[in-house]
Amino acid sequence: MPIESIESTARYEFPEPGATVWMIGIGGCGMCGLARIFASHGLCVSGSDQASTDTTLALESEGIRVCHGEDALPDGVDVVIASAAIPPDHPEWITAKNRGIRMYSYAEGLGMVQQQRLGVSIAGTHGKSTTAAMLAWILLDTGLDPGFIIGANCEQIGGGSRLGSGSIPIGPLEGEPGILITEACEFNRSFHRHCPAVGLINNLEEDHLDVYKSLDSIIEAFATFAALIPPAEHGGSLLIAHEGARRQRITPSLSCHVSTFGFNPEADYQVAWDAAARRAGILRDGMWVTQWTNTMPGAHNALNAAAAVILAHQLGTEWDTAADAASRFQGLERRMERLGVRRVESGEVTVFTDYGHHPTEIDNTLRALRAAESPERLICVFQPHQHSRTRFLIDQFAESFAAADEVIVPEIYFVRDSEAERKRICANDLVDRLLERGVSARHIENFGEIVETLERELRDGDLLVVMGAGPVWTIARDFMDAAP
């Protein structure tokens, strides 16, 4: 059902034109996009970051001043916004608090700008970046000129963020506030700070158990997020997976319009997927509404694409026009990204990199690559992300590599956990669980040594996939760069 109009609900006091906004960690992939949107509303935006990067240089070329260091907060600042990576003891955060300046988190900053636009929040344990990028591409290709802030780089849509039009230029919603697509991250319940008019819940599983402690708490958090969407009479709409998103516990009390999608024929939008032909389609009441060829392999990516096509239709794009755009989506960095083919002594090796760091993501990716590429051997280099996640989900991790012929595990990426947590588990614990299940696995601590091992051992017909949310992707880059 296409959306007819939107009435936004004010939740945050948006700064007055000319107000000075200081952004701590302005070079982050989301913060830089937020900075550009604030600047477009006539605010005086500047900020700080640890080091000069291509992103901060680009901001400076656009007239947004960037300082480097940890104590650069100038006088006369009206509002401070801090990246999610900024700890509460950061000097600028403490200075702002002592001065009585209005202070907001990055997620609250997103909520502010969503109030000025038609906010589309993409939520789910998996697939947020892929689905958001797909939707952005479809809306760009079909002339709706969206803005977006996405946590991954997608060259096809111009990067990870875009300002977009202040009003929708064409279609049934012409003249309404411009579309702004954002990922809705559940970590620390940050998506509770959003102000979405339209929402998606792609899936829901156990994750971030260092924050939530139980699946029930995660379901409750997603229900609270969904309740932020305005009532149906004000244009509020939620698209939720028919299966795998605990919809029975999330949707009953909602006042917004709710529709479901999935492979189940009982879904409002039934998704069809032919893996061999990579053909995806959507049926409504048993009748085809559209079909397309999906460039990214795997049933999970068929669902991601279907969600993007459905949302695009709800926002005013014709079914077949949206599907045609979906068929031309080229993917994004580190999401089942094919880096190319590398010559080795015995022939050629195909190399992929992927951001997957949850057991379900790993299983989906490895099975999809094996089916799509039919390699002689599938070799996976996987770096666990967070010691707590690895410990909480170690049995699921051990089961998720069934499609791999060999797994190489470097050190666990240490982030957000305490030193005590760090000592409770190590990479060899995961290797031992894999070996118990008959998966060939070994621990190699050093990235450089892993590259050397790959050089010696990979052979013609192998597929190498380097997976994880940390810096492990550099192994794939270095292996490719070492080609003779």
Coil, strand or helix: which one is 8? coil
Phi, then psi, of 130 in degrees rounded to 5: -65, -50
pLDDT reading at 8 higher than 60:
no
- Quote the pLDDT of residue 334: 84
Same domain, 392 and 422: yes
Task: Let me know whether 165 and 281 are in one domain.
Answer: yes
Give residue 286's domain range: 117-326
pLDDT in tens, 94-138: 999 999 999 999 999 999 999 989 999 999 988 899 999 999 999
Domain end marker among 81, 104, 127: 104
CATH number at residue 79: 3.40.50.720
3-class DSSP assignment, residue 30: helix
Domain-ending residue, one of 104, 130, 145: 104
| Co-location of 123 and 79 in the same domain | no
* Section 415-434 average pLDDT: 90
Same domain, 319 and 211: yes
Alpha-carbon distance of 157 to 308, in angstroms, equals 15
The pLDDT score that the predictor gives to residue 4 is 52
Rg, the chain, Cα only:
23
The number of helices, as runs of H, and strands, as runs of E, in the chain is 17, 21
When mean pLDDT is compared over 5-14, 130-139, 201-210, the highest value belongs to 130-139
Is residue 237 in some structural domain? Answer: yes
With contact defined as beta carbons under 8 Å apart, do 240 and 207 qualify?
Answer: no
94 and 115 Cβ atoms separated by less than 8 Å: no
Does residue 12 belong to any structural domain of this protein?
Answer: no
Give per-residue pLDDT as tens, 207-257: 787 788 899 999 999 999 999 999 999 989 999 999 988 999 999 999 999
| C-alpha span between 307 and 305 (Å, rounded) | 5
CB 77 within 8 A of CB 19: no
Q: Is residue 110 part of a domain?
A: no
Instruction: Report the pLDDT value the prediction gives residue 290, as an integer from 0 to 100.
Output: 97
The predicted pLDDT at position 2 comes to: 56
Answer yes or no: is 122 within a domain.
Answer: yes
**What pLDDT shows up at residue 421?**
87
Which domain-ending residue is among 104, 130, 156? 104
pLDDT for res 392? 87
How far the first Cα of the chain sits from its last, in Å, is 55
Confidence (pLDDT) at 29 = 81
| Planar angle of CA 10, 182, 105, nearest 5 degrees | 60
The mean pLDDT value for 29-34 works out to 88
38 and 166 housed in the same domain: no
Q: Using CA atoms, how far apart are residues 386 and 392, in angstroms rounded to an integer?
A: 10
Q: Residue 440 above 80 pLDDT?
A: yes
In 96-107, which positions are buried (b, 16+ CB within 10 angstroms) versus exposed (e)?
beeeebebbbbb
Question: Do both 199 and 50 map to the same domain?
Answer: no
Q: How confident is the model at residue 186 (pLDDT cuts 50, 70, 90)?
A: confident
Total domains in the fold of the chain: 3
Confidence of residue 70 (pLDDT cuts 50, 70, 90): low
> Could you read off the pLDDT of 368-407 as tens digits, one per residue?
899 888 999 999 999 999 899 899 889 989 999 999 999 9
Task: Give yes or no: residues 151 and 231 share one domain.
Answer: yes
What's the mean pLDDT when you consider all of the chain? 91
Q: Are residue 365 and residue 218 in the same domain, yes or no? A: no
Q: How far apart are CA 32 and CA 25, in angstroms?
A: 9
- What is the C-alpha separation between 268 and 282, in angstroms, rounded? 10
- Hey, which bits of 163-315 come out as E strands? 179-184, 198-201, 237-241, 257-262, 269-274, 279-284, 287-293
The answer to whether residues 226 and 202 belong to one domain is yes
Same domain, 129 and 206: yes
Least confident of 3-12, 117-126, 264-273, 348-357: 3-12
Residues 168 and 144 in one domain: yes
pLDDT cut 90: percent of the chain above it: 65
* CATH number of the domain residue 370 falls in: 3.90.190.20
pLDDT of residue 9: 56
Check whether residue 203 and residue 291 sit in a common domain. Answer: yes
pLDDT at 155 over 80: yes
